[in-house]
Structure formats: C-alpha cells, structure tokens
Structure 1
C-alpha cells in the first residue's frame, strides 16, 4: 500500500462518489475504480457499498479508513520532524487561505516562496474564513479575514477598507434606492455591511439584495449597472477612477476587513513554517 492509496480512501469517503473523487484528484474514473479494487483485494474486505447517491463505508471500511487517517498523520509528523532537524528547508507546508487572498495575493507570495525553498511541498486549501476557522488545527498556517482566531497566535497582515460602488452617482441631497449585489462570504462581512447600511439608512436604501457566488461576479454585475456592490480595496483599486464610490464609515471611523495569519504555538519550530510566515509578514499587500 502506498500513501496515495490511503489518501484515495479518505477522498472517496469525503466526496462520496467515484466520479467526484476522480475530478478532485485529477485522474480518470476507471483509474479510481481500479485502484479501489486493488485496495479491497489487498485488505480482503469490501470497503464501500455503492448506492445510487453515494459510497457508504462498510464496518470493515470504517476501520480501514480510520487506519488510513492515522497512517497519513504519522507520515506528516515524520516529515515535519525530519524537516525540523535538517539544515535544508524542506518538508510539507499546509496552508488554509481565504479565497479572496488566495486569488489576489497568494500566487505571487507562493511563487516567491517556492523559488527560494523548492523542496517544500505546499498543501493548500482555500475557502471561506468561517470554514477555515472551524478546521484550523488541521493546518500549519491559516490566512483568514474578519476576526482573528483567539486560541492561536495571530498577526495582522493588513486592514482592507470597504467601499460601496455603483455606475450611478451617490447624491448628497436625496435617498439613493438601488439593488444591492453581495458575494458569498462569512457572516462577519455581511454584519459589517448591514451595520453600515443601518447607520446610513437616510442616504442609501437597498431595494433588494442579490447574492452571487464569487467576488469577481459581483464586480461584473455592478459594472453592468445591475446594482450597488460593497467591495474591499484589495480587489477594487483599479475601479476607483472609473466608477462612483464612497468609503464605508461609521461614526467617523473607516469600516475595514482585517486579514490575519494565524498559527498554533510552537509550530514555527518547523523551518518551512517559520520562513513562510516571515515571507507573509514582509509582504506589502496594499499601497501605503
């Protein structure tokens, strides 16, 4: 059995279908089916019952999947120990990163890091900050938006001011009534916007709210005149000169979306983790 076989079992259990797993790990369905057949023959047990909707682990399968997770954890721990004891920077670096940061900033940061430390294997997961916070102990480093993780060491990377954009002007002398377009984010982002709207209900009134899946879709809808959109500066700096906008302020204070790097105490003993955090904290995310 190879480590890849144990990874495959865990992915099959998580995704629930052979087709979906094949898409996630980027190999063909027949190859996944053939590999599962080999694993079942190796253990002499049926691991999954195939139903029309998903794969269901058998009792033996549950035991084997639990074993697979232990094998992978032990392998990762061994690699980390070797990386910690070795002079050359290597080993695995597991990162969970906010989708916005992964799209806007992470490619350049990882490009710089992997060029400097080519033997470090990057294990990256991206998603909504709330989901990352829930599973933060699975990763060496978490890059999140909103509130910092209280049970970790957290370093503020940058404040991201929020603006509301539209293709139509924001008048000072009358109520602006327009649809509001929002993008899928965690609750803390929506709370910032709702609080600001509450304090400015005499100036701006959303007629209805449309929610789209990604921030880029939100931007394009706004640019087509479909409605207003609240966007952080990090993804809207090129729009400042082209579209009417106002900065979000409450009682004279700018409304910002904070970005943090969070990690467990002691994890920086791993050289690859320490060097990555150094790279992050030396990055200038927004123009001064």
Structure 2
C-alpha cells in the first residue's frame, strides 16, 4: 500500500459510494475501481461489496481503512516535523475550531498571523465543539478551540470567557420572560446545558418555544424582526444589531458565562508553527480583554 491507497480506503470508508469517493479523490470512477481491485488482490481478500445504496466495507476493509487513517496521520506528522526542522516558521497548521469562534474571531486572527508569518498555511475544520473534540482525540488537528467544558488529558488553556444575554426587539420585564415567545436554535449540548441551568434557576415553567432555527445568526434575525426572544452568547452580538440585550445572572448574583478553551497535545509544541500560534493566541489583546 502507498499513500494513494490509504487515501482511497479512507475516503471510501467515509463516503460508502464509488462515485462520491472518486469526486473527492479527483480521479475517475474506473481508475478508483481499478486501484481498489488491485488492492484486494494484494491483500488476498474482499474489501467491499455493493448494496442498493452504494457499497459497504467488509470487516477486512474496515480494518484496512482504520490502518489507512493511522498511516495518513503518521505521514502528516512526519511532514510537519521535517518542515519545522528549519528555523523559519513555515508549514501547515491544522486547526479544529468551534463554529462561533470561527465565524466571529478566527478570520481576523489568521489574517494577522499570516501577515507576520507568510510561509505558514492553515487547514481549518469548523463545527460544533464536540466534533472538534473528536478531531483532537484522533490527532487530525494540531490545535482545538472549543467552547464549553470538555475532558482533555493534554494541554488546556482558557482563551477567553463571555456572558450570555437574553435579547429582544423591545424592552422586556425579566419576570414576564416565561410568557413571551421563545426562539430556539441548534447548538452543542454544553451551551444548551448552560441555558437550561439558568432557566431552571429563574423560572418554574418551561419556555414557550414558538420557533426552531438551524443557526444562531438566523435566530438573531428573527428576534430583530420582533418574532420572539432568545438567549445568545456575547460573541454573536454587535452594536449594530439594534436590539435590547440583558446580561444573565443566576439568583446568587453570579453571571452566566461560557468559556472558550485552547487545547492541544503538548508534543505538538515541538513544531515551531504550533508553538508560535499558541503564544500568539495566549497573548492576543482581543482575547485577553474578554477574560
């Protein structure tokens, strides 16, 4: 097996479809089929079989795909270390970043870092924090920026913290909030838990959920059009939104906060790109000002 075989097995395992796999690999379907048949001959066993929906990997195929994942990760790490043997900061920095941070904070940070270190390239995966945690655990990324508390045995630094706000188009009486239409949005379980904890601390009745949205930005637009109230983290709010914002507190006076963490395997600090970017984030004034 070589690197192209590893990539073919990895993508096939994810897609379970020859057509989609060939598109991702930028090769023709016949070329991919030929490569897979040769791989089966080399291994002396069937690696996949056809189904009505596409294909499924055999037990041997799944094992080989997992082996391919490991080999691709090892090869990426080897390339990273070799590139970083030079004193000049260069190479690819792989990041896993929660969607909110990626949308509101990351672009300006990357722009500033690349301006100072133009030979550094970024490979960025964004998603919910639970997904980023998976990327960290599998060593698919050098660094993870996650929102909420997650167990991690590697290095972990508090990047910044922010308060949650109830938002409304018009002024509201906080005692009457349970009687108002509430707009919900899809998010990760850690934020849901914080919001639920605050609500149960304040009210005995559940919110009147009148709308479910897929994103926080969509939810905010609904609020701006006076369709209900919502609870959002401070990172999503801008002065130009022209809405009323009420910072949330528990009954004991403690503010309702959400943390953003920087997580990484300490071993990756041997890479000059990782070390420099970690120092950059930990000392950046736009993040320090919110801690």
Q: Smaller-chain TM-score range?
A: 0.7 to 0.9
* Cα distance, 1:166–1:14 mapped onto 2, change above 3 Å: same
Cα distance in 1 for residues equivalent to 2:176 and 2:75: 64
Cα distance in 1 for residues equivalent to 2:263 and 2:55: 35
For structure 1, which segment, 207-216 or 55-64, has the greater mean C-alpha deviation from structure 2 after superposition?
A: 55-64
Map of 1:215-234 to 2, 5 A cutoff? 215-234=216-235
Measure how far apart 1:59 and its partner are: 5.1
Q: Secondary structure at the match of 1:211?
A: strand
CA contact (8 A) 2:13 2:62 kept: no
Instruction: Give the corresponding residue for 1:93.
Output: 93
Instruction: Give the corresponding residue for 1:72.
Output: 72
Instruction: Give the corresponding residue for 1:144.
Output: 146
Say if 2:14 is the partner of 1:14: yes
Cα distance in 2 for residues equivalent to 1:4 and 1:14: 15
Measure how far apart 1:20 and its partner are: 4.6
Cα distance in 2 for residues equivalent to 1:144 and 1:69: 23
Q: TM-score, normalized by length of structure 2?
A: 0.84
For structure 1, which segment, 277-286 or 251-260, has the greater mean C-alpha deviation from structure 2 after superposition?
A: 277-286
* Cα distance, 1:69–1:227 mapped onto 2, change above 3 Å: same
Say if 2:48 is the partner of 1:48: yes
Instruction: Give the corresponding residue for 1:36.
Output: 32
Say if 2:148 is the partner of 1:181: no
Instruction: Give the corresponding residue for 2:197.
Output: 195
Count of aligned positions: 282
Cα distance in 2 for residues equivalent to 1:286 and 1:74: 35
Measure how far apart 1:216 and its partner are: 1.2
Q: Secondary structure at the match of 1:253?
A: coil
Instruction: Give the corresponding residue for 2:260.
Output: 259
Q: TM-score, normalized by length of structure 1?
A: 0.84
CA contact (8 A) 2:22 2:32 kept: no
Q: Secondary structure at the match of 1:73?
A: helix
Measure how far apart 1:111 and its partner are: 2.2
**Aligned alpha-carbon RMSD (Å):** 2.8
Cα distance in 1 for residues equivalent to 2:100 and 2:12: 28
Cα distance in 1 for residues equivalent to 2:17 and 2:269: 37
For structure 1, which segment, 55-64 or 250-259, has the greater mean C-alpha deviation from structure 2 after superposition?
A: 55-64
Instruction: Give the corresponding residue for 2:159.
Output: 157
CA contact (8 A) 2:184 2:209 kept: no
Cα distance in 2 for residues equivalent to 1:44 and 1:186: 41
Q: Secondary structure at the match of 1:158?
A: strand
Cα distance in 1 for residues equivalent to 2:48 and 2:174: 64
* Cα distance, 1:274–1:231 mapped onto 2, change above 3 Å: same
Cα distance in 2 for residues equivalent to 1:213 and 1:175: 23
Instruction: Give the corresponding residue for 2:117.
Output: 117
Measure how far apart 1:96 and its partner are: 0.9
Structure 1 unpaired stretches of 5+: none
Measure how far apart 1:286 and its partner are: 8.2
